[in-house]
Structure 1
Amino acid sequence: MKLLILDRDGVINQDSDAYIKSVEEWIPIPGSIEAIAQLSKAGWTVAVATNQSGIARGYYDVATLDAMHARLRELVAEQGGEVGLIVYCPHGPDDGCSCRKPKPGMLQQIAAHYGVDLAQRWFVGDSMGDLDAALAVDLQPVLVKTGKGLKTLSKTLPAGTLIFEDLAAVARELIHN
């Protein structure tokens, strides 16, 4: 199984320090929807692991988050592709859960769902928390320069981190190489 795991905010859609609180605020990064559809059509399963502490903070509810993910699925389907499992952490940073990145709980949940080992598969994110979560389960850390990616790029990255302009560039690499 060809499995690719993505962070959401800053990788698939625009990020905001004020949180993405509605479907209207959920705006895809140019090329990201097409990239997911192209990967899907090329035989990749594209899963998503996203921290959503806005739920714990009371900024939006699970129904709103589900509506955002339904919109993501709808847009990718319009391009002939599909999105695999979407998992999220609804907890705040101080809740002590095992799912909030940089902890690997969501990534382990995806592995269990698909019955696969995560070693050497890619996890694409835009933050140090994403890269650290990838390393915790032997995923290949991949940084995109969208979202918080440029800010993350100014830090010391884990050895072996792959760097791409955006999700579209990741898709081109995986599909053509």
Structure 2
Amino acid sequence: MKLIFLDRDGVINHDSEAYIKNVDEFELLPGSIEAIANLSQAGFNVIVCTNQSGVGRGLFSMEELNEIHIKLHQLVDQAGGSISAIIFCPHVPEDNCNCRKPKPGMILDICERFNVDNISNIMMIGDSIRDLEAISNAGGIPLLVKTGNGKKTLMKEKLPLGTLVFENLLEASEYIIEKEQRENAEE
């Protein structure tokens, strides 16, 4: 089972300190839809894994969040790709839940649902230390993109061991697809 986890805000779309509260505020980063389509066409199950504490804070509703995700699905479908699942944590940090990144709960849940036995080859692309720590805590491979908070993360944080760094989601996706093709050719 080939899974790839993607953070949403700052990786797929522009982020905002005021939160992305509705579909009108949801603006894609260049190349992100193409990257998702390419990954899914290469046989990856693309999983969007995102903290959405704005729901828990009452800044936007589940309906507004669903509208954003419906739009994302439609855009990827139109580009010839697919998203296998979008999972999110609606909790605020004070809830101390097991699903909020940097805890690996969402990743482990999806791996269980997709019957993944070996997480060590599973990658997550993110722009914050929370994303990198979540996949690292689950035993997978962290990939940092310099979009969103990525440049700040790169400058200020101690990255988990083995973190790979890319300019953006499209560059990261190209690396992943080429790596997969090389490994298949060697078999």
TM range (shorter): over 0.9
Corresponding residue for residue 165 of structure 1: 167
CA distance in 1, matches of 2:124, 2:38: 17
> How many residues are treated as equivalent by the alignment?
177
CA distance in 1, matches of 2:56, 2:3: 29
SS in 1 for 2:93: coil
Return the letter of the residue paired with 1:138.
Answer: G
Corresponding residue for residue 112 of structure 1: 112
CA distance in 2, matches of 1:42, 1:93: 36
CA distance in 1, matches of 2:173, 2:137: 23
Structure 1: tracts of 5 or more residues without a match:
none
Rg: which structure is higher? 2
Return the letter of the residue paired with 2:10.
Answer: G
CA distance in 1, matches of 2:159, 2:67: 34
Structure 2: tracts of 5 or more residues without a match:
180-187
TM-score under structure 2 length normalisation:
0.92
Corresponding residue for residue 182 of structure 2: none
1:176 shift after superposition: 2.1
1:140 shift after superposition: 0.2
Q: Percent identity?
A: 51
1:71 shift after superposition: 0.5
CA distance in 2, matches of 1:57, 1:168: 32
TM-score under structure 1 length normalisation:
0.97
Deviations 1:82-121 (A, max 9, x none): 0011110000010111000001111111111211132221
Deviations 1:130-172 (A, max 9, x none): 1111111111011000000000001221121000001000111
